[in-house]
Amino acid sequence: MTGPTNDPAGTTFQDVRGWALALPGVEEGTSYGTPALKVRGRLFLRLWEDGETLVLKTDEYERDHLLESDPAAFFVTDHYRGYPIVLVRLPAIPPERLRPLVMDAWRRHAPARLVAEWERSGG
């Protein structure tokens, strides 16, 4: 695994992978033939088939906000329009903007008990 990207204008999937694997209960897998990260078996993000876009589970409110706030980084295709998912152009988003979104996706999909234990431990 490589370290964080040195490019302040973008993020790599390796960055995302490192953040996610540092969280409790996260395991690597695949989804649609691409690298995916799951918490206790529940998918919360994966690499899109183009190798430069992150498929990130979110909620509808946050997705709509992200789409409006930065259309260069966030988008959806017709396939994802009815789902609480946002697509993220990794080269277009700085790590400090994406990392909290990855953490939020984990919190939404991790069992409540796991989140509570992690937060009590200072996570």
Give me the pLDDT at residue 123, please.
78
User: Cα(22)–Cα(50) distance, rounded to whole angstroms?
Assistant: 25
Give me the pLDDT at residue 8, please.
56
- Residue 19, judged by CB atoms within 10 A of its CB (0-12, 13-18, 19+), counts as buried
Beta-bridge partner residues of 90 = none
Pairing of strands 85-89, 74-75: antiparallel
User: 36 and 28 in contact (C-beta within 8 Å)?
Assistant: yes
Specify the pTM. 0.89
Q: What are the pLDDT tens digits along the chain (123 aa)?
A: 333 334 456 999 999 999 999 999 999 999 999 999 999 999 999 999 999 999 999 999 999 999 999 999 999 999 999 899 999 999 999 999 999 999 999 999 999 999 999 999 887
User: Cα(1)–Cα(19) distance, rounded to whole angstroms?
Assistant: 12
